[in-house]
Amino acid sequence: MFRFTRAVGFTFLVLSGWLMGVTTGADSIGVYWGQNSNEGSLKEACDSGSYSTVIIAYLTNFGGGRNPRLNLSSHCDLKSGNCTDVANDIRDCQWQNVNILLSIGGAAGGYSIDSAADVSNVSSYLWNTFLGGTSSSRPFGNVTLDGIDFDVDYTPGDSEYYADLALSLRNHSRGSRLLYLSASVRCLITQSKLRTLLNRNSLAYTWVHFYNNPACEYNSSSAVYPDGSSLRFVNLMSSWSQWTSRNNSATVFLTLPASADAAKSGFIPPADLFEFLSIIRTSRNYGGLMLWSRYYDSQTQYASKLLNFTAPAAAPTPLPALPPSTPLAPGSLNPDAPPKPASRIPVIAGATAAAVVTLLVLIAVSSFFFGKNHVIMVRKRLDCLYAFRKSRRYRPHEDYVDQLVPGLLTRFRYQTLVDATENFSEKLGEGGYGSVFAGTLSDGTEIAVKCLDGIGPVKKSFLAEVETIGSIHHINLVRLVGYCSEKSRAILVYEYLPKGSLDKWIFHNDPELSLDWETRKKIISGVAKGLVYLHEECRQKIAHLDIKPQNILLTESFDAKVGDFGLSKLIDRGENLVVSTMRGTIGYLAPDWLGSVITEKVDVYSFGVVVLEILCGRRNLDRSLPEDSKHLLSLMKTKAEENRLRDLVDGNSDDMQLHAGEVVEMMKVAAWCLQNDVARRPSMSVVVKVLEGMMGVETDLDYNFFKPPEVAAHKEHVLALSPVCPSILSGPR
C-alpha cells in the first residue's frame, strides 16, 4: 500500500483532444488505480461516475537495458503478458468518456533514462505497447491508452532526458494522434531543470501537489487573521495564486490525498475543500482535481462527497481571533517572495456575490422599463457568463456538442484555427460538404481542419461525426481532435495524416508511386480492423456508410485509418437500421440500399469494392476504358468465369505482378464481401481472421455482382437520398 508521497512527474495525454476544463459547480476529478488489490476493478472505478480520468499505476521497470515490467498488484496475469479483464475495463471506461493513462515509475522498481539510447528504446516501447503503435506483446491488446504519466519521484540520472523522451513520444504521435504535454510537480519547486521546463510554456496541463509541505498546503488550524479571515487557506491560496499566474498557457490541477491516511499532511475535509473550490473554480487556469488513490477514495467516498456536496445554509460560528504572536508569512514558490497580506478570500467571494446581484437587478430594471425584447438582448450579450437559453431550440451549438461527448473534444476558437492554418491557405482536399486545410497549432501539433459549408445536411454531418467518433479510440480510425462552431460555423479538427488519402496512391499510372504488395496488404488489414472496432467492439454498433478510398487516410508508414464519419449511424446491438434516405457514394453502395432496412454489412460490401480497387490499381468505374472493361465488378465476373483473375492485378507494379498468386487469393476475399445476399457476406472480424491466416475464404462464391447506376462522368456522388425517388448531390466529399 503506497502513501501519497509522489511528487514530480511528466504527463502525456495522447488524444483527440482532451478538455479538462469544468463548468461552475462541477469539477473534473482524476484518480490513481492499480496498486491495491482491495480497491476494486478498473470498471468499478469508472462506473462510480466520479472520475473523468483514471491513471493506471505503474510500469515500474524501464531504461538502462532493463526489461519493462508492469506492476498492477493482483489485477491481471502479468506472467502471461495478457491483461484481458483490464483491457475490457479500459474499453468500457473510454466509452464512458473516462480517459485512461499509464503511469511509469513510482516508488518501487528500477528505472532510469540516462542516455539518448534510453530515450529511443523506451519511447518506442511505450508507443508500440500501449499507445498508437503495433507490437506482438501488447498486454491490453488493441486497446489504445489515452496517455502516459511520467512519475520521476525517485528517478536517478539527468532529468533532461525525460524532456527528450517527451519529444520522442510527440514525434511518434505526429500524423497519428494529438499529444498534449503536462507536468506533475510539487507545490514548491526545488529542481532547476523542472523550473526551466515549466518556463518553456510548452505545457498544456500542470498537476500541482499541494500536500506533504506545510508551506503551501491546507492548514486545519482554527486560528484567524485580525480581520476575521481564516488561516486554513492562506498558504494554499498563496501558492495557488502564484501557480495560476506564472504560466498562463497551462491549466492547473490540485493534486490531493483522498483521505487523511493517504498522506502525511495536506488532507482537506470535503466541506473545506468545497469552500476553497468555490473561490478558485472561476480561475481561468483551473482544471480540476487529481486524487491518490482509488483505494483511499473507495474507503472515504471523497470524490463522491465533493460532487454531491451541499453548502450549509448558515455561516459557521466565527473563529477566535488570532494571537498577535502567531507568524503570518505563508510559504512561497519563490523563496524571495514577500509575505502574503491578509486573505483576499472574503473580497473575492463578496465581489462575486455583488456581481450576481447587480446582474439580476439590471435584468429586472430592463424588463420593467424596456420590455421583454430588451431583456432578451441583454441576456444574449451575457451568454458568455450565464446560459439563459436552456431549451434545445435555443441552446448554443457548442453546448450541445459538449453534451454529446463531454470533456473529450477541444473547443477551438475560430481565430485559433485561422492562425493555425494561416488563414486557410493550404488546401488538402475539397468535397461536396466543404474543404480540408492543413494547419499547425501553437505547440507544433499538425492538424487537418475541415470546414463544412451549407445548412441542413452540413449540420447533420457535423453532429454525426462528433457523436460517432468524438469518444472512440482506435489505431485504425482517424482521431477527431476538436471542433469550432462559433457563429454557426461548422468546423472539425482532426489529426494530420501526412500521406493523405488512399485514392492518391492507387488511382494513377506512375510506376514510381505504385505501392508494393506488402504495403497494400497492410492497408487492407488496417481498414478491416478499423471496421471490426466500429461494428463489434463499440458499445453501439457504428455503420460508417461511406467506405471508399477518399475516406481512408494514411500515416507516414502507410498505416490505414478510416475517416469521414459524416454519414455514419449508431445502431443498437441486435437491431438493424431502418432508413428513409440512401447514404453513401455511387459505386460503393450495396444492393441492400434498394430496401429500407440495412445492417453494418453495407460497410462490408463497400470494403470489398475498395479491396478490389487496391489490388487492381483502378477505379470501380473507369470510362476511359472500353465498354467491356470500364465496370470493374463486371470485368471481375468475366475474368473469374475464364479463370483469368491474374489479368486484373495492377500492371503498374512489378511487385504486384511478382505476387500475383497471393493477390488473386485476396481478390476472393473481396468477392466474398461483394455477395449480393447480405447473409452470405462475412463479418469484418471473419475477414480479419482470413487476412491473418486463421481461416479460409468461402469457396462457393457468386460473381454476379450488383451493378450500380451510372452518373455524370468524372464525378463521385455522395447520397443522402430517398431510395424511392433519388436525386443526386453532386461533388465528391
Q: pLDDT value at position 165?
A: 83
CATH number of 29-309: 3.20.20.80
> Smallest Cα–Cα separation from 109: which of 172, 152, 157?
152
- In this prediction, residues 127-154 reach a mean pLDDT of 82
Q: How confident is the model at residue 287 (pLDDT cuts 50, 70, 90)?
A: confident
Number of helices (H), then strands (E), belonging to the chain: the values are: 21, 24
**Strands (DSSP E) along 323-452, which ranges?**
410-411, 427-431, 434-440, 446-452
Which residue carries 502525456 as its cell? 12
Q: Tell which wins on pLDDT, 643 or 155.
A: 643
pLDDT over 80 (residue 460): no
Q: How confident is the model at residue 690 (pLDDT cuts 50, 70, 90)?
A: very high
Phi and psi (nearest 5°) for 63? Answer: 80, 165
Measured distance CA(650)–CA(619) in Å, rounded: 11
Q: How confident is the model at residue 197 (pLDDT cuts 50, 70, 90)?
A: low
Which residues sit in the known binding site?
450
Question: How many percent of the chain have pLDDT more than 90?
Answer: 34
Measured distance CA(244)–CA(206) in Å, rounded: 10
DSSP 591: G
Q: pLDDT value at position 340?
A: 35
Q: How confident is the model at residue 422 (pLDDT cuts 50, 70, 90)?
A: very high
Question: How many percent of the chain have pLDDT more than 70?
Answer: 67
Q: How many CB atoms lie within 10 A of CB 71?
A: 16
312: left (phi over 0), alpha (psi -120 to 50) or beta: beta
- Asked whether the beta carbons of 628 and 635 are under 8 A apart, the reply is yes
Q: pLDDT value at position 448?
A: 93
Q: Which amino acid is at 463?
A: L
Q: What is the pTM of this model?
A: 0.49
- In this prediction, residues 315-341 reach a mean pLDDT of 34
Output the CA angle 48-51-54, nearest 5 degrees. 110
Which residues sit in the known binding site for ATP?
450
- Asked whether the beta carbons of 568 and 468 are under 8 A apart, the reply is yes
Q: pLDDT value at position 230?
A: 65
pLDDT over 50 (residue 263): yes
Domain with CATH 3.30.200.20 in the chain: 405-495
pLDDT tens, position by position, 424-450: 999 888 765 678 999 999 989 999 999
> Smallest Cα–Cα separation from 43: which of 84, 92, 87, 82?
92
- Helical H segments across 591-643, by residue range: 601-616, 632-641
Measured distance CA(346)–CA(441) in Å, rounded: 39
Measured distance CA(650)–CA(51) in Å, rounded: 52
Measured distance CA(619)–CA(716) in Å, rounded: 11
Output the CA angle 76-81-84, nearest 5 degrees. 50
Q: Quick one: cell of 284?
A: 481561468
Domain with CATH 3.20.20.80 in the chain: 29-309
Question: First CA to last CA across the chain, in angstroms?
Answer: 55
Q: Convert 641-650 to b/e letters by CB count within 10 Å (16 or more is b).
A: eeeebeebbb
CATH number of 500-692: 1.10.510.10
Residues 6+ apart with CB under 8 A from 287: 20, 21, 22, 28, 205, 251, 252, 253
Torsion 471-473-477-478 (CA) sign: positive
Instruction: Map residue 199 onto helix, strand or coil.
Output: helix
Q: Tell which wins on pLDDT, 304 or 193.
A: 304
Superfamily of domain 405-495: Phosphorylase Kinase; domain 1 (3.30.200.20)
Measured distance CA(603)–CA(569) in Å, rounded: 12
Instruction: Map residue 484 onto helix, strand or coil.
Output: strand
Q: pLDDT value at position 148?
A: 84
> Smallest Cα–Cα separation from 562: which of 491, 468, 490?
468
> Smallest Cα–Cα separation from 515: which of 482, 474, 549?
549
Q: pLDDT value at position 222?
A: 60
- In this prediction, residues 354-360 reach a mean pLDDT of 54
Per the DSSP assignment, residues forming a β-bridge with 286 are 252
Q: pLDDT value at position 364?
A: 55
Most confident of 113-117, 157-161, 301-305, 409-413: 301-305
> Smallest Cα–Cα separation from 9: which of 248, 292, 233, 389?
292
Q: Mean pLDDT for the chain?
A: 75
pLDDT over 60 (residue 10): no
